[in-house]
Every structure is written in C-alpha cells, then in structure tokens.
A and B are shown apart, each in its own frame.
Chain A
Amino acid sequence: MAIAKAVYNQNLYPKQLEVQPETNEVTGTSQAELSWRVPVHGTVYGAALNYQEELDVLGNALYEKPYNTPPAAPVLYIKPVNTLTPHLSSVPVPQGEEELQTGAALGIVIGKSATNIEVNAAWDYIDGFTVANDISLPFESFHRPPVKQKARDKFCPIGPWVVAKEEVAHPDDVTIEVFVNGKTRQTATTRNLVRSIPQLLADVTEYMTLYEGDVLLTGTPARPPLVQKGDKVQVKIAQIGTLENTIQ
C-alpha cells in the first residue's frame, strides 16, 4: 500500500489515494470507476543517454563525428504539453508511420523550486515519483534535438499517479519493466543510471530552475521495444505502479 496523488474523474486538482503499486489497485474503488487525467502540471524534461548501456551501444561512435566526445553534461530534452496524455489513453501512430519507440522512464516530480541545489539536499526538492512512457518515432542520431520525433501529440503518457517520495525507499534501485500485449519486452533498473537521481537534479538545476510540479524523466533504458497499432503497452515501475496505454 502506498500514498499517491492523482487527478481523475471530474477533479481538476490532485486528490490523495491509497494505491497498490504491485497490482495498480486503488483502495475503496475499482479501476473501472476512475477516469484518469495527467497527474502533473509543470514542464516535463527528460534526460537522454542516462543509462550506461545506451552509451555502450553507441560505443566508438561517441568519439566520432558528429559527437567527437562523450557527453559531459546531462543531455536534456523537453516533452511539451501537447504530448501529455494519461493512463489508459491511446497513443496515435502518425499517418505514414509504422512503428513507435517506447521510452520507459521513472519521473521525478519536483516539490518546490530547485535552483543550483546540492547533491545531498536533492531529496528535499522531490515531491514524489511517477511513471512515464516517452514515445518517439524511432530515431538513430542524437545530434539534433529530436523535436519532430518526440514532440508529437500524446507522445508522453504519464501516470497513473504520483507516489509520495517517502513510499519509495531507494528510487536509484527500482526495476522498470515494459510489457507489450502482456509479454515482457524490456527489463531495466535505475541502478544503471549514469547520473543518480540526486546527481541529475544537482547537474540540471545548476543552470535551470525546476519548479513545483515539473517532472524530470531520469532516462530511458537502451534497446527500447518498438510497438505498432493495436498493441497494449505497460510500463511497470516497482513501488510506483503500472502505466498502460494502447497504440492506435
């Protein structure tokens, strides 16, 4: 059992719920009675190449053109507001495209304005954690901002809820799984983040303020599963919950 906040049904603001992260059950209600909304209201940022295996996959390419050298600072991107879509919503495949790339991510939800914070103070600035699926059109190059690949409508399912930080003992050691039509297609752990959660928050806020309600996606594991029309995609993060969407 965990305390979470969610926006659902006619509510415009988050309400507190008791949830079962392992089964996605909500105390005192059935899933069928809930119509979910996006549980966060700020800007959603993501960190790319924050899993060691992603860098390993690039290998020598990190030292070749156009990159020349491995990344020194976090590689960040923005998922704008048109991309946000809730738990159990559908994600459209754009016309002319066949496949979408999933992007299972642990999202840090910010609790108060964070500017140039210290690593050992990072926990104070976190409100909780959520689950995101950073959908993209498949792409190979990290050279230019992948706006056309990542910023499409409904390309960032997020939810179902935000679990209070106190409920997640070790967010730098949680298992992330992706299921497509019920079959396990990816398993990863936040133990393999290049920058841990506190380190990432310190490095990002060194030059940009994160505000209450903003979300920082901590990275998407290497070799993301591809999905097609009709697929049911679930991103499950231990101690937080399962985000489910259908590709339409």
Chain B
Amino acid sequence: MKRARIVTGGTIHDAVEENGKVKLEDGRLLQEEEVEWLPPVQPQTTFALGLNYADHAKELSFQAPKEPLVFLKGPNTFIGHRGETKRPEEATNMHYECELGVIIGKTAKNVKKEEAYDYIAGYTIGNDYAIRDYLENYYRPNLRVKNRDTCTPLGPWFVDKNDIGDPMNLTLKTSINGRITQEGTTADMIFTIPDLIEYLSGFMTLNKNDVILTGTPEGLAQVNAGDTVVTEIEGIGALTNYIRKV
C-alpha cells in the first residue's frame, strides 16, 4: 500500500493511492493536483548519507569512504510532493540529489545486518538538495548546505516494505523540466540498507518513523528558479518539486 498525508478542505487527511489517484478515508478519490501534499512521515531523527555511491564520490573527486559519512537533518527542511524549494538568488551551485528513503518501523538497537529488514516499515523518496556555495570544511556537509528550509522534499508516498521486492535493485531517475539528467540504481550503494541499519543502530537507538536517506548516484546538475525537478524511484513513485527564487 502507498500512503500519504495530504491537505484538502482545510483538514489533514491520511490517504492511500488507488489507480494513480488519492483516496481519502471517506472514499473520495482526488487527483494529485487537487490536494496539498505533506511529507508522508514526520521523522524525529533523519539521517542522510554523503558519498554513498561510488560513481557519485568519484564525480565529486572523493575516495569512497571507509565508514558511512552520516549527517543529520532537522524538521525545518522537509516539504511535501509538489512543494516549492527556495533558491537564494545569490547561489551559483545548487543541485538535487535523488535518494531512497528508508522508514524505520520499530525501535532498533544493535541490529545485525541479517535482521535489518525486520526493522523497516517502508520507503519513500527524498530530494536532498545541496547549495554548494555554502560548503565549509567544518562538520562537512554543513547544515547551511544541507539543512535549509524547504530544501528536502519528501514523498509523495510512504510505500509499505512488502510492496518492494528488492530495495537494493531499484532504478533512480531525476529530470529537470522533463529532461532526464540523472539515472542510477540502488544496487550501486557502497553501504547497503542493512549495512546502514547495523552501523547506526550499533551506536544509537533508532525510533519508529526515523528516516535514512541513503545517498545519491552520479548525475548532478544545476537547478534554477522556475525549474520543475522530478526525482523518481522504481516502485516508490515520482516526487515533483518546483524551484522558486528568494
């Protein structure tokens, strides 16, 4: 099942996907353009991975890391499907990052790889925008690059784990204004989903609805005000975002 949190008629609804439409609790079927989309999950803790695809690390001229490069995000940065991301007018280097989001299903501490999938509730898509103008070499990637208001679209759906056969073999794709600029597969992750759950839960407790954004493959491209950016993952959905000048 694909679930969403949406707003219509001045109320927040839990909804599910039915034949490409949004079905509300009362049975109403709405087009995706008719509703406002919220992030499908409200994480307490969100992890993101840097340089977790070998080709992307190479693209940024980095050695692939020996240990996961993890950073954290705050709630300010998330927006839903079809939302607007603010691009500062002064920025010269802003790019998207299409990422598979893993949603934790129950409290996880010291979980072994072999049991990692038992702790997953489902998946979503994250677009982990970076504005590289603000990169500094302290706690890099720093929050000014990675935790800006509106800079992490999440959604559209919370897809149940059981709907996805092998999350480590899904095609990721990004397009700007309809032109495909990024294409890759989750099979190329350096640290797999079970690796990451074992690593993180090995030193801290993960909670229900925490999200792990698992990194992005190569194919970065500049985005500009007015662009429509669609990050898509096979079986999970297509997350649309609009870039707005501020």
Contacts and interface: CB of A to CB of B under 8 A. Distances in A.
Interface of A: 43, 45, 48-49, 66-69, 71-73, 75-78, 80-83, 94, 115, 142-148, 151-153, 207-211
B75 A145 contact: no
B147 interface: yes
B144 interface: yes
Contact of B139 (A77, A81, A83, A153): A77
Going nearest first, the 6 A-B pairs with the smallest beta carbon separation are A80-B45, A78-B72, A76-B143, A75-B138, A145-B71, A209-B76
Contacts of A151: 72, 203-204
B220 interface: no
A148 B203 contact: yes
B124 to A, nearest CB: 19
B157 to A, nearest CB: 25
Contacts of A48: 138-139
A72 B142 CA distance: 12
Given A147-B71, A208-B74, A208-B143, A68 B205 contact: no
B98 to A, nearest CB: 22
Contacts of A43: 74-75
B144 A81 contact: no
Interface in B118-148: 134, 136-144, 147-148
Contacts of B44: 80-81
Contacts of A147: 47, 70-72
Given A153-B205, A208-B149, A78 B74 contact: yes
A97 B6 CA distance: 46
B160 to A, nearest CB: 25
B207 interface: yes
A73 B136 contact: yes
A83 B207 CA distance: 12
24 contacts: A43-B74, A66-B137, A69-B136, A73-B136, A75-B142, A76-B143, A78-B74, A81-B45, A82-B45, A82-B204, A82-B205, A142-B138, A142-B139, A144-B69, A145-B72, A145-B139, A147-B70, A151-B72, A152-B203, A152-B204, A153-B109, A207-B134, A207-B144, A208-B147
B192 to A, nearest CB: 19
Interface string B59-98: 0000000000111111111000000000000000000000
Contacts of B70: 145, 147-148
B74 A45 contact: yes
A94 B137 contact: no
B145 to A, nearest CB: 9
A82 B44 CA distance: 9
Contacts of B73: 78
Contact of B149 (A75, A76, A209): A209
A207 B85 CA distance: 12
Given A81-B207, A151-B204, A153-B205, A211 B138 contact: no
Interface string B177-207: 0000000000000000000000000011111
A221 to B, nearest CB: 18
A144 B139 contact: yes
Contacts of A148: 70, 203
A211 B147 CA distance: 14
A71 B139 CA distance: 10
Contacts of B136: 69, 71-73, 75
B75 A211 contact: yes
Given A78-B72, A209-B76, A67 B137 contact: yes
A194 to B, nearest CB: 13
A208 B138 contact: no
Contacts of B143: 45, 76-78, 208
A151 B77 CA distance: 20
B174 to A, nearest CB: 23
Given A148-B203, A211-B75, A143 B140 contact: yes
B93 to A, nearest CB: 15
Most buried by B among A68, A80, A153: A80
B139 A146 contact: yes
B198 to A, nearest CB: 13
Contacts of A142: 138-139
A153 B204 contact: yes
B20 to A, nearest CB: 34
Nearest to B75: A43
Contacts of A45: 74, 143
A145 B69 CA distance: 8
B77 to A, nearest CB: 7
